[in-house]
Amino acid sequence: MARAVDSQVALLRAHRQLQVAVRQVVSRVREAVPGASCLLVGPTDHPQRVGRSWRLRRRTGQLVDSERRVAAEKGCGFIDLVSVMGGPMSMMKLVTEHYAGPDRTHLTRRGYEALADAISGAVVTGFNGWQRAACSEKRDEAVVKER
């Protein structure tokens, strides 16, 4: 029991340390290039081999949560690659569909191309939404000035 608690405490500590490190990196970039846009990209799904089977890495979900939280705090975009890939343990299906290699960590050329398409699509969609909102704000400001 004590070992399990120690393990959980260590994971929480690592989770907090990751958030601090990501915040520091984003802050340094913001200081160096104040007007730059920011996009954090989470890790891919990559199950852990246990004997002859595979299991979900708990740390991956924690990484995604940490990066998502920091992105929101710092005004950055965030892309959750685990979700883009199909969710936790999706790598197993991607292997059978030849989007990922048998190591369940690396994608194939086909997989990297599909991932690049998904990321670029998300960036364009996000930009279009931002542009619509910015234009709407300017339109509202113009209406207020006319009155």
- Residue whose pair of structure tokens reads 């340094």 in the numeric block: 28
The ranges assigned to domains in the chain are 2-146
Q: What is the pTM of this model?
A: 0.77
Q: What is the pLDDT of residue 133?
A: 85
Say which residue, 72 or 12, is predicted with more confidence.
72
Mean pLDDT of 36-61: 91
CA-based nearest residue to 43, from 108, 115, 98:
115
Q: What is the pLDDT of residue 99?
A: 97
**pLDDT tens across 85-140, in order?**
999 999 999 999 999 999 999 999 999 999 999 999 988 998 888 888 888 776 66
According to DSSP, the residues that pair with 89 across neighbouring strands are none
Q: What is the pLDDT of residue 10?
A: 73
Longest Cα–Cα distance of the chain, Å, equals: 72
CB-based burial, 14-49: b 16+ in 10 Å, e otherwise = ebeebbeebeeebeeeeeeeeeeeeebebebbbbee
Q: What is the pLDDT of residue 116?
A: 95
Cβ distance 100 to 111 under 8 Å? yes
Taking the CA atoms of the chain, what radius of gyration do you get in angstroms? 20
Q: What is the pLDDT of residue 141?
A: 62
Is CATH 3.40.50.1110 what the domain over 2-146 is classified as, yes or no? yes
